[in-house]
Structure 1
Amino acid sequence: MSTFDYAITRTLDAPADKVWQAWTIADDYGKWASAEEVVLDVRPGGAWSSVMVLPDGTRIPLSGSYVEVVENKRLVMGMDVPGRDEPVLMNLELAADGEATKITLSQTFDTAEDRDQAEQGSNFLLDSLTAHLAA
């Protein structure tokens, strides 16, 4: 069976601990990720949930758990997907680069369509995160 994956790498103008906080503190995450009702239990096996609010007002409930947590360096998050037995994993890698941080988001999917949709979503998230950190 073939798999379809993507990896997006960007350099953010903020230290790694600030980028980490943006992903792991519920209030911070909600601000930049257009999410409400954010609950983050950031530890291996801990659950997360949020409601993503799209620009048109559509609300999408999301949930999952944390698989791997290495503070200021690596988060592996599983996302529950209706109709799938196993969660879809998203890998987030942070690498300090002076006062900047290199961030890489990556995922693997069964179909090109799912990959393309997730990659578009990840680019949107990274655009929002970049704007949040610059503010």
Structure 2
Amino acid sequence: MTTEQTTAEGFSYTSERTLESPVAAVWRAWTVAESYAQWSYAAPGSVEMDVRPGGTWKATMVTPDGGQFPLTGSYSEVDENRRLVIGMDVPGKNDPALMTVELAEQSDHRTRIVVAQTCDTADERDMAEQGTGMLLESLTTFLKTAN
């Protein structure tokens, strides 16, 4: 499920899914470089993560047509197995684009994941929302094979 909203602060979206994996497995997928690289469309060997408030990350993402683009950022909030606030450096902008990932343990070892982001324009939001949808699909597939 995805919702969109426009506010004075920008253009937001929220994507929510229930994953058939325990919260600890979902957390590891987002915070262990080797795991993240397997499902996030990152180039092999390009992911580095220092998952702590103020810690940095980097990855080179690979597009479906084979193009590559490097990304960098930092972690604003880290609450193990519950919440990550990830900043992505954006060329020409002083502040990073923030994405919030919230996890909640459900019954039967399932996890509810909510990903939210606010962007400056509707086009940026639409692209980020599409990217998040692709990531969540890939994460779902990865978790099915990793468990």
Q: Same fold (TM over 0.5)?
A: yes
Amino acid at match of 1:61: P
Deviation at 1:2, TM superposition (A): 5.2
1:34 CA drift (Å)? 1.4
Match of 1:16 among 9, 14, 23: 23
What's the CA shift string for 1:55-100, capped at 9, x where partnerless? Answer: 2110010000000000000000000011111000000000000210
TM superposition shift of 1:3: 1.4
- The match for 2:120 is 110
**Residue 66 (structure 1) aligned with residue 87 (structure 2):** no
Answering whether residue 54 of structure 2 is matched by residue 45 of structure 1, we say yes
Q: Can you give the 5+ residue segments of structure 2 that lack an aligned partner in the other structure?
A: 1-7
SS class of match (1:63) = strand
Question: CA–CA distance in 2 between the matches of 1:110 and 1:53?
Answer: 24
Task: Report percent identity of matched pairs.
Answer: 53
How far apart are the structure 2 equivalents of 1:10 and 1:52? 23
Give the equivalent residue in structure 1 for 2:144: 134
Corresponding position: 1:56 with 2:56: no
AA paired with 1:107?
A: Q
2:10 to 3, 26, 42: 3
Paired AA for residue 73 in structure 1: R
Per the normalisation by structure 2, the TM-score is 0.90
**Normalization by structure 1: what TM-score?**
0.97
The number of residues matched between the two structures is 135
How many Å separate the matches in 1 of 2:9 and 2:101?
A: 23
Aligned equivalents of 1:11 and 1:93: distance in 2? 12
- Find the counterpart in structure 1 of residue 132 from structure 2: 122
